[in-house]
Homo-oligomer: A and B are copies of this chain.
Amino acid sequence: MDMHSLVDKILDSYSKIGGINEAGAESFPNRENVVAVINDLQSLVFPGYRTAEEVNSQNIRYITGQRVNRIVSMLTKEIQKALVYEKSAEKTCDCFAQAEKISLKLIEALPELRRIIHLDVTALFEGDPAAKSDEEVIVSYPGLEAIVVYRLAHFIHKAGVPVIPRIMTEYIHGKTGIDIHPGAEIGESFFIDHGTGIVIGETTVIGKNVKIYQGVTLGALSVQKNYQDKKRHPTIEDNVTIYANATILGGETVIGKGAVIGGNTWIIKSVPAGTVVNQ
């Protein structure tokens, strides 16, 4: 058994089992690059908290400018690949120009995204008796990290970019155990505590001031492939609280304003506003 023939067999497998190879790395968004963009974006959102590099009034302009340049340059390339890939069977697109426009729009939206993320930080601090300060929340809460990356990925998802938003949220899913699909709609002042095991499906709609604890699933009743374009996941209205390990399923299930869903509950029908549901 010699090494060269082993290599030949693997190469042969590449040409035969085509569905799981890449013809060339240039033609599909690359996970390593997308992760680098996510980390840079988080540093832009919370300057001085995430990386060891010192940020002060003398250098913040330059560090910020470098980050913006790096993000626009890398993200444009990855979005371009994603657009080219999606259009391959159809008419060509001016994919580079389109990709750059989306990257710049994301940067332009950052001040507004930071305003919303600030509300999330406040919600986490207010909602958790164990939280000692905003800074502690920013620097250590996985729930916040999952929300921030979701908000960034959701922006890119709404701009019509395939694949990349999913790489972003699955990366943070790996880090935090919190799985939020970038297609979900989530209102202001969103609160997640502990978070491990949370699943929020693609067509979920969540209002303002909602609180969700670890192990909560907002899922689909049916998982038929042909349901792809239907609303398959529940709607959670403003001020709802959902305790640990509750499961809420179905696209027509609505949890009304201010309802409280107890831990370990199983819900597949709508719940009226203000109701308290226990096991």
Contacts and interface: CB of A to CB of B under 8 A. Distances in A.
Contact of A25 (B56, B111, B114): B56
Interface string A62-89: 1111101100100000000000010000
Contacts of A50: 31-32
Q: Which of A4, A33, A226, A227 has the most CB of B within 10 A?
A: A4
Given A49-B22, A134-B20, A176-B174, A6 B263 contact: no
A260 B60 CA distance: 54
Nearest to A173: B142
A144 to B, nearest CB: 10
A110 interface: yes
B104 A68 contact: no
Nearest to A106: B6
A23 to B, nearest CB: 8
Interface residues of A, number: 120
Contacts of A53: 25
Contact of A162 (B132, B176, B279): B132
Contacts of A167: 139-140
B11 A60 contact: yes
Interface string A183-225: 1000000000110110101100000000000110101100111
7 contacts: A3-B68, A3-B69, A21-B46, A32-B51, A59-B65, A132-B162, A177-B197
The 4 closest A-B pairs by CB, nearest first: A22-B48, A62-B65, A13-B111, A140-B170
